[in-house]
Amino acid sequence: MNEKMNRLEFLKSLGLKGASLFAVYCAASGLSSCINESMDPTLPPGTGGNANELILDLNDSNYSKLNTTGSYVIVSGIVIARISTTAFAAVTQVCSHEGKRKVTFRSGEFYCSEHGAKFDTNGKGLNSAGKKGLKTYPTELTGTSLKVTLG
Ligand code: FES
């Protein structure tokens, strides 16, 4: 953990969250590091990371449902599902069929409600509407912190 992260943790420990944390962190860190490392202020509490990764705190109420197999959340256009006691899957919310932002997770599959495209947890299409597959993103759980690598 570098010094900047420690500062961020310190600010979090003061009880600052979301936009107010973002503002204080930027002021304390200086503009250049803010541009390089800033969290998206529109992300909900419990979310960290940068342009290349999302980090979800599974203890936070926004994401605690990911402790239950079969549940999912949508963050910044990414559908993140708990697919087993040990594994997660993350895919784009944008369907490869006609580009609708309607992909969710149900019954162990990713599913688009627009025309019923289905995809497995590796993004492989399971029917004709889903035949182009879905973009997937690697996930990694460390303790209660789930990282989704975007870039
Ligand atoms: S846009 Fe998703 S099934 Fe057609």
- Are residues 94 and 130 part of one domain? yes
Atom number of ligand 1 nearest to Cα 116: 3
Please state the rounded mean pLDDT for residues 80-107: 97
- Residue 65: what pLDDT? 96
134: containing domain: 53-149
Ligand 1 centre and the CA of 133: distance in Å?
Answer: 11
91 domain residue, yes or no: yes
- Is residue 51 a contact partner of residue 151, using CB atoms and an 8 Å limit? yes
Q: Which residues line ligand 1 (CB under 6 A)?
A: 95, 97-98, 100, 102, 112, 114-117, 129
Q: Which residues contact 31 (CB under 8 A, 6 or more apart)?
A: none
- Are residues 58 and 24 part of one domain? no
With a threshold of 0.85, does the pTM exceed it? Answer: no
pLDDT tens digits along 98-122: 999 999 999 999 999 999 999 999 9
Average pLDDT, the chain: 83
How many structural domains are present in the chain?
A: 2
- Are residues 74 and 20 part of one domain? no
- Are residues 129 and 82 part of one domain? yes
Query: In which band, very low, low, confident or very high, does the pLDDT at 11 lie, cut at 50, 70 and 90?
Result: very low
- Cα–Cα distance between 104 and 116 in angstroms, integer? 11
